[in-house]
A = this chain, B = another copy of it.
Amino acid sequence: MGKTLLALAAVAAVVLGPLRAGAEDPLPSWKEGRAKRAIVEFVKRTTRAGSAEFVRPEERVAVFDQDGTLWAEQPVVQGAFVLWKLRQLAERDPSLRQRQPFRAALEGDLAYFHEDPEAKVMQLVAATHAGATDEEFAEDVRAFLDTARHPKLGVPYTQLTYRPMRELLDYLRANGFETWICSGGGVDFMRVYAERAYGIPPERVIGSGLRKELARRNRRGVLLRKAEVRTVNDKAEKPVNIDVQIGKRPVFAAGNVRSGGDVAMLEYSKGRAGPSFQIVVNHDDGAREFAYAEKDGATLAAAEANGFTVVSVKDDWATVFARPPQARRPPGG
């Protein structure tokens, strides 16, 4: 009898699951249009048994850039974290305000960074990220996310995730896709909030990172960040790191227009043997979000050449933010 019930359970789950899912619109925050239709048709085509373009469940890997693809990037949130942490450090050690590049960063002197920006930014990252253990760093990030507010919208940064993209993540997972983040952001920074914000666990986050080394503290092995880059997960490094952590070409890849940082990842997905799908979020809605373009237009050119689906925030998204910013704006804010 136990076995019969189990068999019944299995049958019920298999038969009723899809029926139930089919009854609802899986992407209610997407306007009806070319982009939404293309996504839904691709998912159906690759997951329906017997379909000519069927993709086996173990191949269903979907990768998402984070800043500008899953949440707002004006300003880049990790940049705000660096400033927040620098201000904390300057309170404990005021001499920091007199020393470069900290002084320029704290005073918002962008001109200072025009020359040799990489070395200077690396000094900021080293001061705010290096030396800490994983546990200490995660505490810092949590404190920042709990207290910091977006300078214009007045809400916590974690409320600026895009609702249509969260629906898309859920929709892909419901159809057997493993969803991953592959972003230029710091891996340890993203891992603190990715599970709660997107349902993406730490082991499915690929990002930039400093080298770490094993050290002993209180007779316990701990990993310490060094002031040395392990990887900058941008442009051609994205496919390289996808290979390190996943070992398969993504069937589905999502990026956005700003710096051309996602083109290599999208092309790497496109180059897989078998069906694949790529989207590019275009930030063209200054009223509900932020409107900005790419200087050289490389991402849109690559979309045109490769057949990536361009998603217009203005035309394709009925709702932008997961939780409307005004709902949580502080009184009088």
Q: Give me the interface of A with B, judged by CB distance under 8 Å.
A: 2, 5-6, 8-10, 12-13, 16-17, 19-20, 58, 61, 134, 178, 187-188, 191, 195, 201-205, 209, 212-214, 220-223, 230, 236, 239-240, 243-248, 264, 267-268, 271
Contact = CB atoms under 8 A, between A and B. Distances in A.
B222 A240 contact: no
Nearest to A242: B223
Contact of A221 (B61, B201, B212, B271): B271
Given A2-B16, A202-B248, 8 more contacts: A5-B16, A9-B12, A58-B195, A61-B203, A214-B240, A214-B268, A221-B267, A221-B271
A221 B268 CA distance: 6
A143 B58 CA distance: 22
Contacts of A195: 58
Contact of A264 (B58, B214, B264): B214
Contact of A5 (B12, B203, B240, B244): B12
Contacts of A230: 244
Give the number of copies in the complex: 2
A175 B267 CA distance: 39
Contact of A223 (B10, B16, B243): B243
Contact of A20 (B2, B10, B209): B2
B6 A247 contact: no
Given A223-B243, A245-B203, A6 B16 contact: yes
Contacts of A10: 9
B264 A221 contact: yes
Nearest to A249: B134
Nearest to A17: B6
A234 to B, nearest CB: 12
B134 A201 contact: no
15 contacts: A6-B12, A6-B17, A8-B9, A9-B13, A61-B203, A187-B247, A188-B247, A209-B244, A214-B264, A214-B268, A221-B239, A221-B264, A222-B271, A223-B239, A244-B245
Given A236-B213, A271-B222, A248 B203 contact: yes
Contact of A213 (B6, B17, B240): B240
A202 B13 contact: no
Q: Lowest 6 CB-CB distances: which A-B pairs, in order?
A: A202-B247, A9-B9, A9-B12, A220-B271, A214-B236, A5-B12
Nearest to A12: B9
Contacts of A222: 271
Nearest to A212: B240
A113 to B, nearest CB: 28
A10 B203 CA distance: 27
A58 B12 contact: no
A2 B19 CA distance: 9
